[in-house]
Structure 1
Amino acid sequence: MRTASPLPSVDKLLQHPRTAGLLAHYGKTQCTDAIRAALADARNQWLAAKDSQTAPGADILLDAAEQSLQQLFAPRLKAVYNLTGTVLHTNLGRALLPQEAIDAVVQALAAPSNLEYDLADGGRGDRDDLVEDLICRLTGAEAATIVNNNAAAVLLVLSTMALHKEVIVSRGELVEIGGAFRIPDVMTRAGATLVEVGTTNRTHERDYAEAISAQTAALMKVHCSNYAISGFTKSVPDADVANIAHSHQLPMIVDLGSGTLIDMRTWGLPYEVTVRETVEAGADIVTFSGDKLLGGPQAGIIVGKKSLIAQIKKNPLKRALRVGKLTLAALEPTLRLYLHPEQLADRLTTLRLFTRSAADMQQQAEVLQAPLQNALGTAYVVEPTAMSSQIGSGALPVESLPSHGLVIRSADPRRAGQLLQRLEAALRQLPRPVIGRLRQDALWLDLRCLEAANQSVFVENWEKLVLASD
């Protein structure tokens, strides 16, 4: 018959010399819970063992408790190195904020602000006022309002303008965005009825005109995200859809998705229609994102006719979807950078990453090859190579940016799959995880998003790489 458990008590472990540091760092409540959990696990293992009555000592139990506390207190949101080749990577947080926005957020965190306080007359203000003038100046719109993302913007617009009525949309524009959210579903939740016109690949002016009825609330255009239709295709330009809508005294809504404030061709990038061009084409309401091509925080920006924006702001959903002070703190200085286009490519982080030269990244890859090869040893081969980046988040889905980076292959082709998967997993466990992409029996590390200022820290982080023995 087995004797009573020889495990120490909770109180004895709390009084152990090693526990003093844990108590100071994590507090008595959590330390007690962690010690109790470690004792419970050890007790269950001891009772289940048939061939040994040896129980773990205090050091082993405290090791388990400390590991549990470290996991509990470790941050879940971690900085990573994005070496995927996708600049606006949805899973990695999309746009990186410019320093001006970071400084403004820190200030908003540390001090009270005039979020909804009118400094001129001492009365209550409107938080949209902090950025509305800037947005209108940059887009040519009469008015603007902000919500927490572009899907929210579309939901709010449709709920306001088309509740229990119909909205006409081309079948070729019924997109699905990330997370399986679809335009038809958003429209249904907004209380509007979708009327599809045209076909997947071709929609004509007459399709819109013939679908208009007494129940029609608006005509809507949706920017294609994450895909492109080519070949035998036709879509109706925004200006023509606006003319059809206005001839029937109806508004025209455009969901731009990403939405850019600048002609990207100025910096040698592919063309994307701007918000200003869409407004000038006759759109009455335009929605777009703040954290994609604009390069700011997550936000949904709604611009358009003053009377329509006023209606949208009165919708009770506006309160539920509004942004907080941190979003506005980051958005205002980001927008202000656009007032100085001569310096935009240097100061706006997203545009700076878009416009990095392949030659610059090639030189960087050649510098990094040796330290990375040394850290990996002989089991892998590290080679600089040309590759292609993409903008990401649905913007310009078929366009690519010439890039350069490092390709890592297994020195033993017979074990390539196993070794590369092990390496990719090990990189994700670094103090600052490194995220690349596995393809063609290699691990690809695109350097577009690794700027020179972070290069030395990246190498130090990489050198902490410890791979499990074969």
Structure 2
Amino acid sequence: MASKSPANLRRIPSVEKVKQSPKVAELLRHLSDSFVTAIVREVLEDVRAAQKKGAKESGSVDMDAIEEEAARRIRAHLSPALHRVINGTGIVIHTNLGRSILGPETVAAMTEAATHYCNLEIDLETGERGHRDLVIEPLVCALTGAEAATVVNNNAAAVMLSLDTFAKGREVIVSRGELIEIGGSFRIPDVMARSGAKLVEVGATNRTYITDYERALSPETGLLLKVHPSNYRIIGFANDVKLSELVELGRKRGIPVMEDLGSGALVDVTRFGLCGEPMPQNSVAAGADVVTFSGDKLLGGPQAGIILGKREHIKAIRKNPLMRAFRVDKLTLSALGKIFQILLSSREPEKQIPTLAMLARSVTDILEMAQQVYEGIGADARKALDAAIADGESQVGGGSCPGQTLPTKLLMMRPKRFSPDALAQHLRKNEPPVLAIIRGDSVCLDFRTILTEDVPDLTTVLRTIALQPSHSR
């Protein structure tokens, strides 16, 4: 094989020849020469590397295949990197799929801000420069009872900025049972170290008392921190310190108290059959000086970190030089503003906020959609996929309500001609891609997270996969 490689290498066309081939030349008419040249070189380097490894036999360098691959890669580069997908996993706040979906009213508010100039930082009454926090601060304060509020680009930034503001070079006391790690390797101890604060752990993993905090106090204490363990629960022989206890201690010693809620639900989720999540308004009522939570989890908005609390503390955060690095743009503010307006004005916000709508969906509604797809794919596809509707459990996701599930309906598929992994891959590679879950020997679609507008496409995808000739699989 090695003796044939030089001959094959000589058969590899030049960059210019590939650029002049019909399919590539047509694309080149509308694109920059340097961009197309780089892609063609990349393709030819891959062909050359394959030939050097002896991966192809003599005479196997195919100009048509090279032209086709170059054109494919050029088109792939020009296609959107983010694709709409159908979420059949049943995880409502799916971090890998972009977390919360925004409703039409929220998208309309973002579009308005994106396509026009807006009063982001101007006071329309005086004509003088204003502050972008005023876009959302009155709404957040009305919802939570906080004195002031600001927004940064995510909750990790909110925690980082708060620690940097109040405890840089000083000590922060936190319970060992609250030293959380969430997805993406976000660890409270690591964030604290980056902020310049010094971590002081107190208590045991499962039991911490207010006296543990009291004993750890020193002249270097800058902050008392309480962290909601978003994605786990400690049960059994356990005890944690109530926020109100920390507040009392902080006031007695003149030390600010901060609570990181993680998900932060402004709507009581017990109405959806869940056991509940801490609510920012309750933290404010308990006297916390600073409260942080996410915008794109149970709030159902865009990625953001909301910081609210006492006026003097929010003012200090705004003055931190890092605030400019962490602040959000007009699109995020317009989306959050609309979400907060909905929460203030509607008794049923789940009708306008998709994340809440999915949590609120009844099993009856979910079954109706599952049956629509089941019937829509037809008898032949149902038989080929060995499809059946079954009971299942959905997850909230995003570190919210850990260990809790909601009843749902699944479309279970056990085709003999596909392994579960192969069927899941076929679903992902369709247009639009469909994300499913594998349970034992079945591939399942959870209809809690499938949108009404997904139904026609999902029906077509399932029929196509089920009825395609076996040789194309």
User: Structure 2 length as normaliser, TM-score?
Assistant: 0.90
Q: Check whether the contact 1:98–1:334 (CA below 8 A) recurs between aligned residues.
A: no
Task: Evaluate the alpha carbon distance shift between residue 468 and residue 117 of structure 1 in structure 2; reply closer, same or farther with a 3 A threshold.
Answer: farther
Q: Check whether the contact 1:46–1:53 (CA below 8 A) recurs between aligned residues.
A: no
Q: Check whether the contact 2:171–2:220 (CA below 8 A) recurs between aligned residues.
A: yes
- Computed over aligned residues only, the root mean square deviation of the Cα atoms, in angstroms, reads 2.6
Corresponding residue for 1:445? 445
Task: Evaluate the alpha carbon distance shift between residue 14 and residue 411 of structure 1 in structure 2; reply closer, same or farther with a 3 A threshold.
Answer: closer
Task: Evaluate the alpha carbon distance shift between residue 375 and residue 39 of structure 1 in structure 2; reply closer, same or farther with a 3 A threshold.
Answer: farther
Take 1:120 and 1:375, find their aligned partners in 2: how far apart are those partners?
67
Task: Evaluate the alpha carbon distance shift between residue 387 and residue 377 of structure 1 in structure 2; reply closer, same or farther with a 3 A threshold.
Answer: closer
Q: Check whether the contact 1:148–1:321 (CA below 8 A) recurs between aligned residues.
A: yes
Q: Check whether the contact 2:250–2:257 (CA below 8 A) recurs between aligned residues.
A: yes
Corresponding residue for 2:189? 184
Q: Check whether the contact 2:8–2:51 (CA below 8 A) recurs between aligned residues.
A: no
Matched, 1:112 2:104: no
The one of 134, 139, 150 aligned to 1:134: 139
CA-CA distance at 1:82 after TM superposition: 1.2
Task: Evaluate the alpha carbon distance shift between residue 298 and residue 8 of structure 1 in structure 2; reply closer, same or farther with a 3 A threshold.
Answer: closer
The one of 367, 380, 388 aligned to 1:383: 388
| Range with bigger deviation, 69-78 or 172-181 | 69-78
CA-CA distance at 1:249 after TM superposition: 1.7
Q: Check whether the contact 1:46–1:54 (CA below 8 A) recurs between aligned residues.
A: no
Q: Which amino acid aligns with 1:193?
A: K
Matched, 1:258 2:253: no
Corresponding residue for 2:329? 324
Corresponding residue for 1:125? 130
Task: Evaluate the alpha carbon distance shift between residue 93 and residue 54 of structure 1 in structure 2; reply closer, same or farther with a 3 A threshold.
Answer: closer
Corresponding residue for 1:272? 277
CA distances 1:409-467 after superposition (whole Å, capped 9, x unpaired): 2437xxxxx71111111111112211111122221211111122331133234445467
Q: Which amino acid aligns with 1:342?
A: R
Q: Check whether the contact 2:273–2:406 (CA below 8 A) recurs between aligned residues.
A: no
Q: Please list, as runs of the form range in 1=range in 2, the aligned pairs for 1:12-411 lying within 5 A after superposition.
A: 13-38=18-43, 52-53=58-59, 55-57=61-63, 59-372=64-377, 380-411=385-416
Take 1:4 and 1:258, find their aligned partners in 2: how far apart are those partners?
57
**SS of residue matched to 1:312:** helix
Corresponding residue for 1:415? none
| Range with bigger deviation, 139-148 or 438-447 | 438-447
Q: Check whether the contact 2:274–2:401 (CA below 8 A) recurs between aligned residues.
A: no
Q: Check whether the contact 1:132–1:145 (CA below 8 A) recurs between aligned residues.
A: yes
CA-CA distance at 1:173 after TM superposition: 1.0
Q: Check whether the contact 1:152–1:321 (CA below 8 A) recurs between aligned residues.
A: yes
**SS of residue matched to 1:316:** coil
Matched, 1:430 2:436: no
Take 1:440 and 1:109, find their aligned partners in 2: how far apart are those partners?
46
Take 1:426 and 1:133, find their aligned partners in 2: how far apart are those partners?
49
CA-CA distance at 1:45 after TM superposition: 6.4
Q: Check whether the contact 2:396–2:405 (CA below 8 A) recurs between aligned residues.
A: yes
Q: Check whether the contact 2:50–2:56 (CA below 8 A) recurs between aligned residues.
A: no
Q: Which runs of 5+ in 1 are unaligned?
A: 413-417
CA distances 1:55-106 after superposition (whole Å, capped 9, x unpaired): 534x433212211212222222111111111100111111111212211222
Report % sequence identity.
42
CA-CA distance at 1:276 after TM superposition: 0.6
| Range with bigger deviation, 129-138 or 193-202 | 193-202
Q: Which amino acid aligns with 1:429?
A: K
Q: Which amino acid aligns with 1:332?
A: G
CA distances 1:193-217 after superposition (whole Å, capped 9, x unpaired): 1111111111122222222222111
CA distances 1:151-177 after superposition (whole Å, capped 9, x unpaired): 111111111111111111111111111
Task: Evaluate the alpha carbon distance shift between residue 60 and residue 393 of structure 1 in structure 2; reply closer, same or farther with a 3 A threshold.
Answer: closer
Task: Evaluate the alpha carbon distance shift between residue 210 and residue 13 of structure 1 in structure 2; reply closer, same or farther with a 3 A threshold.
Answer: closer
CA-CA distance at 1:117 after TM superposition: 2.2
Q: Which amino acid aligns with 2:452?
A: A
The number of aligned residues is 464
Take 2:278 and 2:41, find their aligned partners in 1: how far apart are those partners?
61
| Range with bigger deviation, 152-161 or 36-45 | 36-45
Take 2:215 and 2:419, find their aligned partners in 1: how far apart are those partners?
60
Q: Check whether the contact 2:107–2:335 (CA below 8 A) recurs between aligned residues.
A: yes
**SS of residue matched to 2:336:** helix
Q: Check whether the contact 1:42–1:56 (CA below 8 A) recurs between aligned residues.
A: no
CA-CA distance at 1:385 after TM superposition: 0.7
Take 1:185 and 1:61, find their aligned partners in 2: how far apart are those partners?
48
Task: Evaluate the alpha carbon distance shift between residue 29 and residue 468 of structure 1 in structure 2; reply closer, same or farther with a 3 A threshold.
Answer: farther
Take 1:459 and 1:380, find their aligned partners in 2: how far apart are those partners?
13
Q: Which amino acid aligns with 1:120?
A: E
Take 1:197 and 1:10, find their aligned partners in 2: how far apart are those partners?
65
Q: Check whether the contact 1:384–1:404 (CA below 8 A) recurs between aligned residues.
A: yes
Q: Which runs of 5+ in 2 are unaligned?
A: 1-5
CA distances 1:219-277 after superposition (whole Å, capped 9, x unpaired): 11110111111111111221122112111122111001110112223444432221111
Q: Check whether the contact 1:362–1:386 (CA below 8 A) recurs between aligned residues.
A: no
Q: Which amino acid aligns with 1:189?
A: R
Corresponding residue for 2:3? none
